[in-house]
Amino acid sequence: MLSIIIPCLNEADNIADALNALAPLRVRGVEVIVVDGGSSDATVSQARPLADQVITATRGRAMQMNAGAAQAHGDVLLFLHADCRLPERADGLITDGMNRAHKTWGRFDVALTGTSAMLGKVATLMNWRSRLTGVSTGDQGLFVTRTLFEAAGRFPQIPLMEDVAITKSLKRYGAPLNLRHRMTVSGRRWEKHGVLRTILLMWRLRLQYWLGADPGKLARIYTPHVPNKL
C-alpha cells in the first residue's frame, strides 16, 4: 500500500486541485494524508472531504511529514508538496519500478510550469544534478519504504534542508530509483522572485549547508523569498 503525505501551510489556493488530482489513486487504494502546520486560511476545511486523513502538526515540513508518516498505513511513503502534480498512474510507476530494480527509495524527474523560458533549463539542471549526486529535493516526490524511512531516522527536525539531509542518510542504504517520468511543479517560486535570483539563492543555501551552516539561519534567509511555503 502507498501512502501520500502532503505537508501544507496556507495552501487554500492549491490544496483542492492537488487532492482532486490524487482522486484516481485513492480509488485504487492509495492513502492520502494532509498535514497542516496551522494554516490561517481555508486549507483544512477544503482538504478534509478530499483526503483520507487531515491532521495538524507543529509547523515545519520535517515535523509535519514525520507526523503524517506516523499516521500512515502504507508500506511505501510518498512525500508531496501541494503545488506538485504526480505523473499519471504514479502509484504503479513506483511499485513496479521498486520491484523491478530492487530499490527501497527514489524520486521522479520534474518539469516546471510557468511562463519563463528559463524554467525548462532549471528543471533539466535539477534532474541532472539529482541523478549525479543521488540527492532528492522536496519537489521531486521522494518515496521510500516505511522500513527504510524508520531505519534512516525519519526527517531530521531542522527548519530547512530536511530533504537533502534525509537523502544523505538514505544513500547509505543504497542508490535511489530515478524515475524519468516527470511530475509537474509550479514555477511560482522562481517567477515571483526572478528565476536567476532564485537559482543563485538556492545554490548559495545548499553550499552553506554542506559547509556546515546552521539550518535555522539558512531558513531565515530562505523564508522571506517564499513566505507561503513551509
> Per-residue pLDDT tens for 31-41?
999 999 999 99
H-type helices in the chain, by residue range? 15-21, 23-27, 43-47, 61-71, 90-101, 118-133, 146-151, 162-170, 188-193, 195-210, 215-222
Distance CA 167, CA 51 (A): 27
Calculate what percentage of the chain has a pLDDT beyond 70: 82
Domain boundaries, the chain: 2-225
**Residue 1 has which C-alpha cell?**
500500500
CATH assignment of 2-225, given 3.90.550.10, 3.40.640.10, 3.30.930.10, 3.40.50.970? 3.90.550.10
pLDDT in tens, 102-150: 999 999 999 998 878 788 888 898 899 899 988 888 889 999 999 999 9
Contact 170, 97 (CB under 8 A): no
pTM across the whole model: 0.87
Stretch 205-224: mean pLDDT: 63
pLDDT at 190: 66
Cβ neighbors of 55 (< 8 A, separation 6 or more) are 33, 34, 35, 36, 67, 68, 71
- Whether residue 84 has pLDDT greater than 80: yes
Which residue type is seen at 167?
A: T
Greater model confidence, 230 or 98: 98
What residue type is 146 in one-letter code? R
Q: Cα separation of 186 and 30, whole Å?
A: 23
Alpha helices in 28-74 (DSSP H): 43-47, 61-71
Q: How many CA atoms lie within 13 A of 128 on its CB side?
A: 6
Mean pLDDT of 10-21: 96
- The whole-chain average pLDDT of the chain stands at 88
